[in-house]
Amino acid sequence: MKNCEYQQIDPRALSVLPSSAQNHTEKKAQRPRRKWEVFPGKNRFFCDGRIILARQNGVLPLTLSLIIVTCGLFFAFDCPFLVKHLTVFIPVIGGVLFVFVVLSLLRTSFTDPGILPRATPDEAADVEKQIDTSGSSTYRPPPRTKEILINQQVVKLKYCFTCKTFRPPRTSHCSLCDNCVERFDHHCPWVGNCVGKRNYRFFYSFIISLSFLTSFIFGCVITHITLRTQAGKTIVQAIQESPARYPFLELVVCFFSIWSILGLSGFHTYLVASNLTTNEDIKGSWSSKRGAEDSGNPYTYNSIITNCCATLCGPMPPSLIDRRGFLPHDEAIPAVSASEIELPPFTAKNDAHMVG
């Protein structure tokens, strides 16, 4: 190795991998743990970190059962009649919609909504240092904010005491999940997860397809009962005759859900078109009532089509929390001279963890 003024750091010397540990005496010999096992937020993980859910997901089973049961009744009782009297496409369309709804729902529930990992101790210390140097007193100061300019508009960034970082714009801390979520929309109990940057498009396709599904089932059931009454019977007779009151049950479920689902779809379509989140809309962050000169939404592209495309068809951002990565070994294993040992190529990942 050549002499240099600075200690030439051979990147390979800094990488610490489980395989190289066998060369050294180790205090512990446990299986390597994955990061999801020590995740600080209130989330639950399944399939070894592949699936993430909020801890409180009590209503998700209800949502799923309502959808499955209603569709089951539809296929069992309405379809045979309608196929005979109308067309065979009825169950086909119903089936496609049902599959789409369930897949979107599961995708929304099991996807990381855009959780921001908490700051490392070094980062937190750096931020604290910067705040202190701006003249605050030694006791815990009032909520810290930082003002920045986004597209020539003043936006306040708040400091999150749990995650120990200044929240990026449009990020909010969900108290139910105890995580900061990027482009936080809302925490949806029906879906059992937060809706944020990464799963908003799944959520939107879920509610849109569910609107179509409920309207479709509602229409089919009405048609079914109407066709039966046309044969000269009253509605009551028709309901009593058809394999039970099940179509009536579907009618009730669909009737009540249609109003709420259609309303929600309409609301979210408006949000998508104006590039807003539910959180911002509720707080009135960008409403003109605030009185500031230019308090329009700084994130909008000023075109409905571009807003829709950006929100729904934009690039899919990656998950920032690396659920399935392995935790680093706690002790800093001294590196034997790297030139004598074949180490795998340099990976920055392990270095950062080791020195942090």
- Looking at the Cβ atoms of 13 and 174, the one nearer to another protein is 13
**Given the residues 188, 194, 220, 308, the one annotated as active site:** 188
Contact criterion met (CB below 8 Å) for 145 and 156: yes
Rounded Cα distance, 93 and 154, in Å: 49
- Looking at the Cβ atoms of 241 and 294, the one nearer to another protein is 294
Active-site residue flag, 313: no
**Least CB distance to another protein at residue 70 (A):** 19
- Looking at the Cβ atoms of 257 and 277, the one nearer to another protein is 277
Q: In angstroms, how far is CA 267 from the centroid of its own chain?
A: 19
Burial of 348 (0-12, 13-18, 19+ CB in 10 A): exposed
Query: What does each C-alpha distance from 40 to 88, 115, 128, 163, 258 come to in angstroms?
Result: 52, 11, 21, 10, 38
**Least CB distance to another protein at residue 96 (A):** 10
* Three-class SS state of 6: coil
- DSSP H/E element including 294: none
- Looking at the Cβ atoms of 69 and 157, the one nearer to another protein is 157
**Least CB distance to another protein at residue 80 (A):** 27
Residues 6+ apart with CB under 8 A from 326: 18, 32, 33, 34, 35
Please identify every residue annotated as catalytic: 188
